[in-house]
A and B are shown apart, each in its own frame.
Chain A
Amino acid sequence: MGYCKNCGVALDENIDLCPLCGLNPDEESPSFEKIMLKETENTKSYPRFDRLTKKQRLTFFWELSGIILLSTIIITSLIDFIINKSITWSKYSITVSLVLLVNTTLFTFLRKRQFIFLIFSFLSTALLLMLFDWYSQNNGWAIQLGIPLLFSFYFWVFLIAIITKYNKHHGLNILAYYFLATGFFTLCIDGIIAFYQTKVFQLQWSIIVFACLILISGILLYIHYRLKKEIFLKRFFHI
């Protein structure tokens, strides 16, 4: 009776391949360390973009975008300074570049911690709006209009991200959730703009958009959960 060199079990004489590990009984599988070493060697000898890991690619993207944005800041401020002898119009490009840099940094290093990523992204963008407001006569539109709209946008994005993350079955249901979130976001836009203009919170056009989106979402959810995949309500909701 022979033995498999890989997993060490006894095999009948007429067996060519070990039914447990699928290898030739005389063949010893390379150890995990050897495989890893080989992988590392391969990576070292072929430092091509398509061989980089996702993390390496993101870091590469971050470095590249960092160089571009910092160059933009330096070049625009220099041109502005040379022409006008002070920083005038370039403050817009500097602010936008800095906020973009913050957001690409957040995306590269905190993309898995969605809550923190979105909070800091929101804060940086809100700061951008406030600075723009300040640059342009400071009439308060950022706090009364811009930031509430931005907040509602981030809120629905966050909710969608959470739902997508914890939903195992990604199909039409995700599309339905996107539609629903868009519907709610239109309500927010309508309400916030109305409040900014008239100091009264009233909804007009967004109700029609919302009703349409609700209908579409309902159909999509029905298709996903009832027609494509049956959910056994009794077990799902058992208490």
Chain B
Amino acid sequence: MISHFFLITLPFKSFCSSFKNFVVVLNNNNTKSFWYPLDNAAKIYPAIQNDELTNVYRIAVVLKERIKIAHLINILPKLEERFPYYKVTLKKGFFWYYLEQTNTPFQLIVDKSILCRAFDQKRNERLLFRILVIKNRISIEFSHILTDGGGAFRFLQYFLLLYFQQGGIDVREQLNEFVVNPKDFHEEFVDSYKEYFKKEVPPNFKRPKSFHLPFPLNRKPRFDVLVAVMPLDEIKKVAQDKEVNITVYLIALYLYVLQDIHKTLPEYSRNKKNKILRIQVPVNLRNIYPSKTMRNFSLFVMPEIDLRLGHYTFDEIIKIVYHKIQLETDEKLINKIIARNVGGERKIIVKGIPLFLKSLLLNYKYYSMGANQYSGVVTNIGKINLPEAVEKKIDHFILTPPPPNKKLKINCGIAGFKNNLVLSFGNITISKEFEKKFLNFLVQQRINVKLSKY
């Protein structure tokens, strides 16, 4: 329906003029504002979110020079033109939430508040993302309702190209990659889960509960972030020595540290706790399917070790993680997970439940089928590549995952840029034992780890 709306309203003269017209149509108060339903992954977030579990993540870019505020202000209208589908606010329907166009302009905010805080509509925060600026750091915070890290990062890429273009750097070639044929524009905000859903595929099975860290929670606001910067070549070398990539190495280390913490628990507590250690690793499905969507399109693979089978050496864990990731990123298995997620949403009985009841059910499902099933999250945005002239201006990127829930307690975001690998540990507990063990292990491998705090 939405695609037809755009196809009818967009003139097909040239790309630029069509986008301008498109935005005029969207901004015209006499015209019905456009809207779209939440995608399959986003549907759960409004039901579970609160002041602590915000589902807001951050990608920060630290520049080598102070930010030129005039340049930033100049590029905001261009961003609005290019990403009109992010100029939306969350609305409650009778059966589902949906996103509706808002007239609130894209804004810059001084980055002096709590990280990844919730979007508060009562405080007139109608958009579901924010751009934060301080000294030489630009950060974007997106609600997962709007998009995942893949979508947000592409937004940030365009943002940076425009910003540096204002500073006189020639990035026309790279900006051309963002030009989209008006006919294909709707592809950027389709729900790709539905697009690639196969009805005949059987849904995925439910996994047994996993171990959770026993640390006591922080006082509110709980979320705290520790940033560790290390040379990419050094960690690449130690990973290559084990014949795996950095992601596999760090996931294995995450499991190894969890095992270590599990082992040091008092006997009674150790026996009582679940003995399956499982890590949730988001996978960008745009790398598997030819989707151009700028909304959520990622799923998770979950490498695991079962401590009931005995103690695992680090090498054994690496082997398991490597093979598990290879297996679970297979398109057929991904289809199975999509079938489970989308299949549930398509059931008429689920569709017909009023929103307030649905929210209660989704909240329960989030913990029973979500948070209970994994012990940690490692999300890696990968190595970020930008034009050489732009790269010279940037020091590093930081990916901060959304504040973990009360069961998960700690998570980790990874971003690589030039020779910097930045780990960002989100933590809602009073303990830093996990981070200490994790980073100590890396230091023992002769990796120079530099710590910093947001």
Q: Which of B66, B67, B96, B110 contacts A6 (CB 8 A)?
A: B110
Q: How many A-B residue pairs have CB under 8 A?
A: 63
Q: Are B93 and A237 in contact (CB under 8 A)?
A: yes
Return chain A residues, CB-CB under 8 Å to B91. Answer: 235
Among A7-15, A113-121, A130-138, A144-152, the stretch in contact with B: A7-15
A168 to B65, CA, bound (A): 44
Instruction: Check if B136 is an interface residue, CB within 8 A of chain A.
Output: yes
Return chain B residues, CB-CB under 8 Å to A9. Answer: 66-69, 133-135
Known A-B contacts A7-B134, A9-B135, A232-B32; the reply to A237 vs B94 at CB < 8 A is yes
CB distance from B369 to the nearest CB of A (A): 22
Q: Are A239 and B351 in contact (CB under 8 A)?
A: yes
Return chain A residues, CB-CB under 8 Å to B98. Answer: 235, 238
Return chain A residues, CB-CB under 8 Å to B170. Answer: none
Return chain A residues, CB-CB under 8 Å to B159. Answer: none
Instruction: Check if A171 is an interface residue, CB within 8 A of chain B.
Output: no
A168 to B92, CA, bound (A): 10
Instruction: Check if B352 is an interface residue, CB within 8 A of chain A.
Output: yes
Instruction: Check if B438 is an interface residue, CB within 8 A of chain A.
Output: no
* Chain B: number of interface residues, binned into ranges: 20 to 34
Q: Are A232 and B35 in contact (CB under 8 A)?
A: yes
Q: Are A235 and B135 in contact (CB under 8 A)?
A: no
Q: Which of B93, B108, B136, B351 contacts A20 (CB 8 A)?
A: B108
A10 to B73, CA, bound (A): 13
A8 to B205, CA, bound (A): 51
A131 to B37, CA, bound (A): 56
A4 to B66, CA, bound (A): 10
Instruction: Check if A19 is an interface residue, CB within 8 A of chain B.
Output: yes
Residue interface mask B38-64, A partner, CB < 8 A = 1: 000000000000000000000000000
Known A-B contacts A9-B68, A9-B69; the reply to A20 vs B133 at CB < 8 A is yes
Residue interface mask B105-125, A partner, CB < 8 A = 1: 000101110000000000000
Residue of B nearest to A4 (CB): B69
Residue interface mask A209-239, B partner, CB < 8 A = 1: 0000000000000000000000010011111
Return chain A residues, CB-CB under 8 Å to B300. Answer: none
Instruction: Check if B155 is an interface residue, CB within 8 A of chain A.
Output: no
Query: Which parts of B120-162 form the interface with A (CB within 8 Å)?
Result: 133-136
Instruction: Check if A109 is an interface residue, CB within 8 A of chain B.
Output: no
Q: Are A18 and B95 in contact (CB under 8 A)?
A: no
A33 to B65, CA, bound (A): 29
Return chain B residues, CB-CB under 8 Å to A232. Answer: 32, 35
A3 to B133, CA, bound (A): 13
Instruction: Check if A52 is an interface residue, CB within 8 A of chain B.
Output: no
Instruction: Check if B70 is an interface residue, CB within 8 A of chain A.
Output: yes
Chain A, interface SS category: loop
Instruction: Check if A67 is an interface residue, CB within 8 A of chain B.
Output: no
Instruction: Check if B234 is an interface residue, CB within 8 A of chain A.
Output: no
Return chain B residues, CB-CB under 8 Å to A168. Answer: 92
A147 to B202, CA, bound (A): 55
Instruction: Check if B391 is an interface residue, CB within 8 A of chain A.
Output: no
Instruction: Check if B188 is an interface residue, CB within 8 A of chain A.
Output: no
Return chain B residues, CB-CB under 8 Å to A20. Answer: 69, 108, 110, 133
Residue interface mask A32-61, B partner, CB < 8 A = 1: 000000000000000000000000000000
Instruction: Check if A21 is an interface residue, CB within 8 A of chain B.
Output: yes
Q: Are A10 and B66 in contact (CB under 8 A)?
A: yes
Return chain A residues, CB-CB under 8 Å to B73. Answer: 19
A235 to B98, CA, bound (A): 7
Q: Are A10 and B68 in contact (CB under 8 A)?
A: yes
A80 to B94, CA, bound (A): 59
A100 to B390, CA, bound (A): 70
CB distance from A100 to the nearest CB of B (A): 33
Known A-B contacts A9-B66, A12-B70; the reply to A238 vs B37 at CB < 8 A is yes
Return chain A residues, CB-CB under 8 Å to B92. Answer: 168
A232 to B73, CA, bound (A): 34
Instruction: Check if B100 is an interface residue, CB within 8 A of chain A.
Output: yes
Q: Are A7 and B133 in contact (CB under 8 A)?
A: yes
Q: Are A237 and B69 in contact (CB under 8 A)?
A: no
Return chain A residues, CB-CB under 8 Å to B93. Answer: 235-238
A148 to B309, CA, bound (A): 62
CB distance from A21 to the nearest CB of B (A): 5
Q: Which of A10, A15, A239 contacts B65 (CB 8 A)?
A: A10
CB distance from A6 to the nearest CB of B (A): 7
Known A-B contacts A9-B67, A9-B133; the reply to A21 vs B110 at CB < 8 A is yes
Residue of B nearest to A31 (CB): B112
Q: Are A8 and B134 in contact (CB under 8 A)?
A: yes
Residue interface mask A17-31, B partner, CB < 8 A = 1: 011110000000000
Return chain A residues, CB-CB under 8 Å to B96. Answer: 238-239
Return chain A residues, CB-CB under 8 Å to B94. Answer: 236-237
A236 to B73, CA, bound (A): 35
Q: Are B136 and A8 in contact (CB under 8 A)?
A: yes
Interface centre among A11, A19, A20, A237 (most CB of B within 10 A): A20
CB distance from A167 to the nearest CB of B (A): 10
Can you identify 14 A-B contacts, CB atoms within 8 angstroms?
Answer: A6-B110, A7-B133, A9-B135, A12-B68, A15-B70, A19-B70, A20-B69, A20-B133, A21-B110, A235-B91, A236-B93, A237-B94, A238-B96, A239-B95
Which residues of A are at the interface with B, using a C-beta cutoff of 8 A?
1, 3-4, 6-12, 15, 18-21, 166, 168, 232, 235-239
- Contacts A4-B69, A19-B69, A235-B93 aside, 6 further interface pairs with beta carbons under 8 A come to A1-B66, A7-B111, A7-B135, A10-B69, A237-B93, A238-B98
Which residues of B are at the interface with A, using a C-beta cutoff of 8 A?
32, 35, 37, 65-70, 73, 91-96, 98, 100, 108, 110-112, 133-136, 351-352, 356
Q: Which 10 A-B pairs have the closest CB atoms?
A: A8-B135, A10-B66, A239-B351, A9-B67, A7-B110, A239-B95, A9-B69, A235-B35, A236-B93, A21-B110
